[in-house]
Amino acid sequence: MKRIFIKLTCLFLLSMYLQAGAVAAVLPEDRADALYHSYDGGDVEVTGPSILVRKSFGQSVSMSANYYTDSVTSASIDVIATGASEYTEDRTQYSVSGDYLHGNVIMSASYTNSDENDYEGNTASFSISQDLFGDLTNVSIGYAVGWDTVMDNTDDTFSEDVDRQTFHVGLSQIITKDFIMGANLEVITDEGFLNNPYRSVRYLNTSGGYSYQKEIYPSTRTSTAFSLTGKYYLPYRAALGGSYRFFNDDWNITAHTFEVNYVHPWHDVIFEAKFRYYTQSQADFYSDLFPFMDSQNFMGRDKELSDYTSSTFGIGASYAFAENGFGFIEKGTINGAVDFVSFDYNNFRDARVNVVTPGTEPLYSFNATVIRLFVSIWY
């Protein structure tokens, strides 16, 4: 479960770092970012800093380095329901990347390593993008490969591999001087140990109650995601945006994500508000309560595989300072954002509640708050 929330905070961080540099055929500007992020929800807390520095060399090369760390404290429903105690651990991630500009083509490569006491992840990626038709159209393709190692703190002999490949193609099109649209297609293949070594499923036992056994997942997974985005610039310097994302995999999970956002400048401050809605169906081997032990070849009770919905309301603001320069600083911004997220599970029940008949526990739901505070400096 912890990796779901770590991934969530990583995605928020990544989106902030990339939102200003999404235009191809122009190298990212020299800048440094210092960020503090916090996630609090479902009895899970994830906090930590991140530092990113980007520097150009000549007119054709740009390099960046990023340090990112999480401190995780969890007493979540997954932990407590099986009798385990609260745990605290740290995760550290390092990444380096480079961009090479040649004409209207940008080639990018990156490597990322993340490490925690029971999981090590490695990812290398390469992408290329090109502007076409008078810079009105941008096409990009990318490939990433990942090789991870899963460990178990309760068993020193346990070590399993996970291999991952990601293929990506994207298209961005300027429709009018005020309207831009984009489309992206991503295919991911996973192979290896894809479940959590600590997670269990519950099943009915002969005494009328329930017991636990280890989860068993398929060793392969292929998923496809397609997204459409659009942004319309309003006459008073504001912008209205929206997006839709469709996801499907061979575990029979289908998901839809809708988002609308609004950006409004006021003097030296830029305000932003957004609303996101997410819904998904369950995996075909998921169940909150199995009828008996070893009832299926594959069994999972991770609530992230269940049928559930989530909604997010977020607000943020960015304040520009030193716009005329200050020493080596060309300009800077102070940024803050907070998201309020609610999760509602339609067939995952709160097993912490004692009931006479297993499977009649109340459905689980919780709220979470995600906070990001960061400073950006261009130099």
Q: Given this model, what pLDDT does residue 85 score?
A: 67
Which CATH number goes with the domain that contains 262? Answer: 2.40.160.40
pLDDT in tens, 127-161: 999 999 988 999 999 999 999 999 998 899 999 99
Q: Name beta bridge partners: 143.
A: 126, 167
Q: Given this model, what pLDDT does residue 16 score?
A: 41
Q: Given this model, what pLDDT does residue 2 score?
A: 43
Query: Cα separation of 190 and 144, whole Å?
Result: 12
Q: Given this model, what pLDDT does residue 22 score?
A: 42
Q: How many CA atoms lie within 13 A of 264 on its CB side?
A: 7
Domain count across the chain: 1
Length of the chain: 379
pLDDT in tens, 46-93: 999 999 999 999 999 999 999 999 999 988 888 788 777 678 889 999
Q: Which of 100, 111, 101, 12 is closest to 66 using CA atoms?
A: 111
Contact call for residues 83 and 108 (beta carbons, < 8 A) = no
Taking 50 as the pLDDT cut, the residues of the chain under it are 1-24
CA 317, 379, 113 angle in degrees (round to 5)? Answer: 80
- At 211, the amino acid letter reads S
Q: Given this model, what pLDDT does residue 106 score?
A: 96
3-state secondary structure of 309: strand
Q: Given this model, what pLDDT does residue 255 score?
A: 98
Identify the domain containing residue 221 by its residue range: 2-378
Q: Given this model, what pLDDT does residue 325 score?
A: 85
